[in-house]
Amino acid sequence: MKTIALIAHDGKKTNMVAFVKDHLDAIRKFRVVATGTTGQYIEQAGIPVTKMETGPRGGDAQIAAMIVKKEIDAIIFLRDPLGIHPHEPDIFMLLRLADVHNIPLATNESSARILIRGLTP
């Protein structure tokens, strides 16, 4: 079973829940990992989730480490480009490692829909 990481900035968490609900059948075909608070929201949508720490407490770095260990197959990271994020270095590290390790990465809902369609039969 492939593993997908789901991450959302605070201003995008409701968007992530809506995305998950709209794509429940596809998401259920993955093992899901998420940063802490995003994971709590996804669990409420009925999806089992392995939760890392929250982003500011190192969750982005934990998922980045999973990328390096080849434990992540795809990432949906709904970013808030207008927000200020104190853990920006961890975010950039995660994005950079996704590129270094050639991991499919969606950073908005449109690209997330394409990613999910491309990964599910």
Each residue of 33-60: pLDDT tens digit? 999 999 999 999 889 999 999 988 999 9
Active site residues: 60
Residue 41 lies in a domain: yes
| Mean pLDDT on 89-108 | 96
Residue 68 lies in a domain: yes
pLDDT at 118 over 90: yes
The 8-class DSSP code of residue 78 comes to E
> What region does 46 belong to: left with phi over 0, alpha with psi -120 to 50, or beta?
left
What pLDDT is attached to residue 110?
Answer: 97
CATH number, residue 83: 3.40.50.1380
pLDDT at 16 over 80: yes
**CA-CA distance, 118 to 86, in Å (whole number)?**
33
Which residue range is the domain that position 96 belongs to?
3-102
What pLDDT is attached to residue 42?
Answer: 95
Residue 77 lies in a domain: yes
pLDDT band at 7 (very low <50, low <70, confident <90, very high): very high
pLDDT at 98 over 80: yes
In the chain, how many domains are there? 1
pTM, rounded to two decimals: 0.94
